[in-house]
Amino acid sequence: MKIGISTCLLGIQCRYDGQHSKDKFVYDELSKHFEFRSFCPEGQIYPTPREAIRQVRINGELIIRTTNTKKDVTKEIVDVSKSLVDSINEDELCGYILKSKSPTCGMARVKIYPDGEGQSENVGVGVFAKELMEKFPLLPIEEEGRLSDPWLKENFLMQVFAYKDIFEFMKTQPTFGELVDFHTSYKYLIYSKSHKSYKELGQIVANHEKKTLEEVLALYKQRFLEAIALKGRTSNTYNVLMHIFGYFKKYITKDEKEEILTSLEEFKQHIIPLVAIIKIIKIYVKRFNIEYLEKQKFLTPYPKEMALRSKVEAFK
């Protein structure tokens, strides 16, 4: 699996000051699961070290200018950003991690300076980031700073693995039956993001309008990517857990039911993490050999070693 990444986050000294912005989570943890393809728009044009650049608003127009010599480098930055984005194929990457606050790579809150006196505003978007998000609006994209938030991290990596999964699935030239199986395996993961999205995807699979297989697959892929881009919530996840509980509640004792329901309520109240509930559920799934649940991506959306559901803060 390949993830695009701002080069400086890998510890490569490519910043304007000759330094790097090595990110511990990216370098130490994600490198165990992903192959990185790095990009540095500024480094494609200028040597390191170099004069810093910034976004400047002049008479309502946004330009890119060097900080000391005030040279307008807008065209160079825009051209190289477009070129780098154009070099990426739709299914080559399954996600992208950008350097926050960068005038080229920041996906939000980039400083825009006035021409002359006045306060800068944190309302800009990096030139390269803007091109990337416009060409690939459904590609999982995050900044390294935001990945320190357990909720954003869990949502991002769940989206990354599902994004890769749908592209790999489509490459197999699936039949209608295989699409039904794929959709079924994602039932509760999609449900945890949006019940509306799950119903829409179900209607596409049902194909009451008798569309061709190619039309159905194309529409399903689009709606699936839109669905996994949504952020999961505690309330939706709690509802999913209650649905799953329904599969084996008639097989267990009254005390076991009470124990599970108490744990579910504690998760809902942010007392215990989701991983504790999942562990309990998997015990019962295995105990009663519930094949339908064993195939659910919701229970194992990514390698367990990532421990993304081990934080109470991983859900909001």
pLDDT of residue 206: 96
- Tell how far CA 232 is from the center of its chain: 11
- pLDDT at residue 80 greater than cutoff 90: yes
- The Cα-based distances of 206 to 64, 83, 195, 228 in angstroms read 50, 41, 16, 20
**The total number of residues written for the chain in this structure:** 316
pLDDT tens column, 10-51: 999 999 988 999 999 888 889 999 999 999 999 999 999 999
pLDDT of residue 307: 84
pTM for the structure as a whole:
0.93
The rounded distance, in Å, linking the Cα atoms of 31 and 160 is 14
pLDDT tens column, 107-135: 999 999 998 778 999 999 999 999 999 99
Instruction: Say if CB 82 and CB 68 are below 8 A apart.
Output: no
Q: Nearest Cα to 237, choosing from 289, 181, 312? A: 312
Q: What angle do CA 202, 205, 211 make, to 5 degrees?
A: 135
pLDDT tens column, 226-239: 999 999 999 999 99
